[in-house]
Amino acid sequence: MLSLRALAVFAVLTVALTWPFASNLRVMDAGDSAFFAWEIGWTVHALKTSPAQLPHANIFHPLRYTLGMDEPVLGTTVLVLPLALFTDDAVLLYNVVRLLTFLFSALTAYWLAKELGAGERVALLAGALFAFSPIRTDQVAHLSTLGTQWWPLVLLFTIRFAKSNRTKDALLAALEYVSTHPEAARWAGESRRRLRHTSPRRLGDAIIAGVAWYHDAVVVTRNPADFEVQGVRVLAYS
């Protein structure tokens, strides 16, 4: 019941704080929106007609694997695949998925806050602050930036894995991670394979290292040896 109430609250906030998007779902705005609408359109077309051709988008002929030459949003496009069963309108799908990123970013951040022990009001506030933060509302044309809905689940399942050591939680964290950041996920996978780390316990380290590598960031940790071998910059503390 609490999740349904949170969903309703975030749905109202999404419509209100992004207005008039909800009343113009078939209108294309200026900027990079056209590219992301095309990317969604190609993804839906490929999945319906020839899934094996998905990575070989209809750009930069005769090159292959062209879908990955820019910012991949497959992990966000899945939000509108049910709607895509009834329409091929790429502009409509793009505008709907834009709104859904706000709704689900808020909801998953709410779940993460609840997992960390927050009360209902604090969790609702956390979800709203995360979903409607300036970095997101300022980037409404960039679906790759808006697609933050899986990040809270990466942390949620990583935390659950740290507490319970259940392989299921590690695999769910990995799935959400791949959906969010395929390039960083690819690097993390290569790192695990190179270091021959097969235990799910190392998955969290690989995820953190992958994000640090992608953003050229420094990992601050009490266990520097766990990350130095993965080739990222480390700042140790005791």
Instruction: Give residue-wise pLDDT tens across range 37-78.
Output: 999 999 999 999 999 888 888 988 888 888 877 777 888 899
Question: What total of structural domains would you count in the chain?
Answer: 2
- End-of-domain residue from the set 115, 146, 177: 146
Same domain, 129 and 225: no
112 and 13 share a domain? Answer: yes
Inform me whether the pLDDT recorded for 161 exceeds 90: no
pLDDT confidence tier of residue 193, bands split at 50, 70 and 90: low
- Do residues 184 and 150 lie in contact, with contact meaning Cβ atoms separated by under 8 Å? no
Indicate the residue type of 4: L
The parent domain of residue 122 ranges over 2-146
From 88, 122, 146, give the residue that closes a domain: 146
Predicted local confidence at residue 115, as pLDDT: 93
Judge if pTM exceeds 0.85: no
The better pLDDT of the pair 81, 204 is held by: 81
Per-residue model confidence (pLDDT) at position 49: 92
For residues 140 and 176, state if they share a domain.
Answer: no
- Residues 95 and 166 occupy one common structural domain: no
Task: Mention every residue, 6+ apart, whose C-beta is less than 8 A from residue 152.
Answer: 105, 108, 109, 111, 112, 130
End-of-domain residue from the set 146, 166, 198: 146
DSSP string, 36-102: HHHHHHHHHHHHHH-GGGTTS-SSSTT-SSGGGGS---HHHHGGGHHHHTT---HHHHHHHHHHHHH
Residue 223: Cβ within 10 Å count: 11
Q: What is the pLDDT of residue 138?
A: 83
Q: Do 66 and 28 lie in a common domain?
A: yes
Please tell me which residue, 208 or 94, carries the higher pLDDT value: 94
The answer on 164 and 141 residing in a single domain is: no
Crossing angle for the helix pair 167-180 and 151-164, nearest 10 degrees? 160
Same domain for 117 and 178?
no
